[in-house]
Amino acid sequence: MTSVADVIIKYRAIPGDYENTVWDGVEHYMLNSGICTDAFSVQDAERVYSLLDEEFVALRGIDDINEAVKAKDNGLDLDCVLCLQELEQLGFDWETV
């Protein structure tokens, strides 16, 4: 079974767009900034900004952005969303961090 530590290790290995890694970006987004683009991996940012205009991204939340990218691209979730989903499945609670 996957643990929270496994998820952290996995997403610390993926380069982040705003922070050094996806894990760092997700943590910053969830605990500090509330700005969903802070959580993007380099690949997330490339996909998002090649498919969506900046105004759409600036005005939407992470779930809306993810769904729009999935609809226009290959149906795959963004790395940062996958990280959040894996943590949610494990019952991870950001309020306890």
23 burial via Cβ count (<10 Å: 0-12, 13-18, 19+): buried
pLDDT of amino acid 74: 82
pLDDT of amino acid 23: 98
Sorted by sequence, the CB contacts under 8 Å of residue 17 that are 6+ apart come out as: 25, 37, 40, 41, 42, 44, 45
Structural contact between residues 29 and 53, judged by C-beta atoms closer than 8 angstroms: no
Per the domain annotation, does 96 fall within a domain? no
Per the domain annotation, does 55 fall within a domain? yes
Per the domain annotation, does 61 fall within a domain? yes
Q: What is the pLDDT of residues 59-80, one digit of tens each?
A: 999 999 999 999 998 889 999 9
Backbone dihedral region of 78: left (phi > 0), alpha (psi from -120 to 50 degrees) or beta? beta
Q: What range defines the domain where residue 55 resides?
A: 4-90
Average pLDDT, the chain: 95
Per the domain annotation, does 51 fall within a domain? yes
Per the domain annotation, does 33 fall within a domain? yes
Domain tally, the chain: 1
Query: Can you spell out the DSSP letters for 49-71?
Result: HHHS-HHHHHHS-HHHHHHHHHH
Per the domain annotation, does 97 fall within a domain? no
Per the domain annotation, does 95 fall within a domain? no
Stretches where the chain sits below pLDDT 70 are none
Per the domain annotation, does 66 fall within a domain? yes
Instruction: Look up the pTM and report it.
Output: 0.92
Q: State how far the Cα of 14 lies from the Cα of 62, in Å rounded to an integer.
A: 18
